[in-house]
Amino acid sequence: MPQPGSATVRSRVRIPLTFPDGYRAEAEVFTFHGLADGAEHLALALGTVPAGGTPLVRLHSECLTGDVFGSDRCDCGPQLRESVERISEAGGYLLYLRQEGRGIGLYNKLDAYALQDSGLDTYDANTALGLPEDGRDYTAAAQMLTALGEAGLTGTTGIDLLSNNPDKAAQLAGLGVAVRHRVPTGVHVSASNVRYLRAKAERTGHSIELSRLVG
């Protein structure tokens, strides 16, 4: 895979975060120049990486319905909340990537939901709309991590990736980012998202224990 072009840190600003359950964290938010897709992705620095340690990194794809409105049709909101706390404890970065609906956009995602209501799973619904099952490209994420490293803000031994998705680790490795370990998130199951989570485990090899998925 071709290595991404260079990006640079554009700005940094501190933002205090408060979640609906009362959990609070301090984030330093970075913006960037030169990202390959031209989107306004963000990196949130959380906690402190111990000297000689490896930053814990989460690539979190934007999900308006889950992150903002608390939709139970996915596990995005709970994963975001979990990730902020775990990264704050370990030290590292949450990359908030503007990739709604696995890269298909908000309206298309809602159209796919309607097809899921008729019986299709999340991947077949995307295909039925003439869209990729998962259209995400992590070139910009690799650029962001490289830019942070060049600014002296990450270690030199790679990252630990907080993700259940093997494709994220594979793409980052192909883009020159050393992934030391892939660390799974929790399983955030509800009556409304169990089919979605089962599809992710069965169709794309996500690290989700099927025994945890009932219903």
Active site residue 180: no
In terms of DSSP H, where are the helices of 20-105?
76-90, 100-103
Residues 56 and 41: beta-carbon distance below 8 Å = no
Q: What CA–CA distance (Å, rounded) separates 175 from 161?
A: 14
- Residues 134, 160, 182, 198: which is the catalytic one? 134
Distances (CA, A) of 153 to 6, 31, 40: 16, 14, 20
- Residues 58, 86, 102, 136: which is the catalytic one? 136
Residues 56 and 159: beta-carbon distance below 8 Å = yes
Active site residue 136: yes
Bridge partners of residue 182, in order along the sequence: 161
By annotation, the residues acting in catalysis are 134, 136
